[in-house]
Structure formats: C-alpha cells, structure tokens
Amino acid sequence: MNPSVSQPCPGGCATCSEYNGCVTCKPRFFFFLERIGIRQTGVCLTSCPSGYYGKRFPEPNACTKCKADCEACFNNNFCTKCKNGFYLHLGKCLENCPEWLEPNNYTMECNDIVH
C-alpha cells in the first residue's frame, strides 16, 4: 500500500496510489484501466467489463478488447453476446443470418429452421 494513501487498496489490488488507483493486482485478478471524466485509474477485477475479456496469460492478466461488434466474448475471435443490431451464430456477430438459418429477433440469434 502506498504510504501516502490514507485508505487501504480496493479488493483485488496488490499496490495502489491515490491518483493512479491500482498499480498492480493480486494473482488471478484482471487489470483494467477505467476512465471517468478526466481520470483514468487502474482497477483489479474477477471479470472484465462489457466489451472486454480476461486474458490469464501472459502475466499480468489483463482485460483485452473484444471485437468491435461484440459486447461480451470468450476470446478475441469468439463472441458470447453481440451488440445491438447483430445476430449471434457460433461466436460470430452477423448483420444477417445465413439463408439456411432463421433469425430470432427476441434472442437476436440465428436458429435452425423448424419445418
């Protein structure tokens, strides 16, 4: 803990400072840079925010961006939830479903056609 910091570091932080927030994380936590207005501070998380996924290797574990059309992902190539306006199919975000599949506008996924 930084002596100049009055309060202890937040949950997942190993070291922190007043202006930069978390500087290093405890093992198994993901480091993320959060911006609120002018300020950008480090935070240590067990799961990354929307639009990011956690990479556990190499150190330090960090939150890494998903693809632009993806709101939540397993890795850079596999989306688990697409942004508005896209249909999800096998980890990909599509503007339209392939013709052999049926768009479901409630779940925003491409489903098998039910005959």
For residues 31-66, b (16+ Cβ closer than 10 Å) or e, as one string? Answer: bbeeeeeeeebbbbbeebeeebbbbeeeeebbbeeb
Q: Does 115 bind another protein (CB under 8 A)?
A: no
Apex CA 42: angle with CA 32 and CA 37, to 5°?
Answer: 100
Q: Does 5 bind another protein (CB under 8 A)?
A: no
Nearest to 85 by CA among 76, 96, 77: 96
Identify which of residues 57 and 85 has a Cβ nearer to another protein in the complex: 57
In this chain, which of 6, 8, 37, 84 binds another protein, going by CB under 8 A? 37
What's the helix, strand, coil split of the chain in %, to 5?
0, 50, 50
Q: Does 83 bind another protein (CB under 8 A)?
A: no
In this chain, which of 46, 49, 50, 96 binds another protein, going by CB under 8 A? 46
Identify which of residues 85 and 106 has a Cβ nearer to another protein in the complex: 106
Q: Does 87 bind another protein (CB under 8 A)?
A: no
Interface residues with another protein (CB under 8 A) are: 2, 10-12, 15, 17, 19-21, 23-24, 28-29, 31, 33, 35, 37-42, 46-47, 56-59, 62-65, 74-78, 80, 89-92, 98, 100-101, 106, 111-112, 114
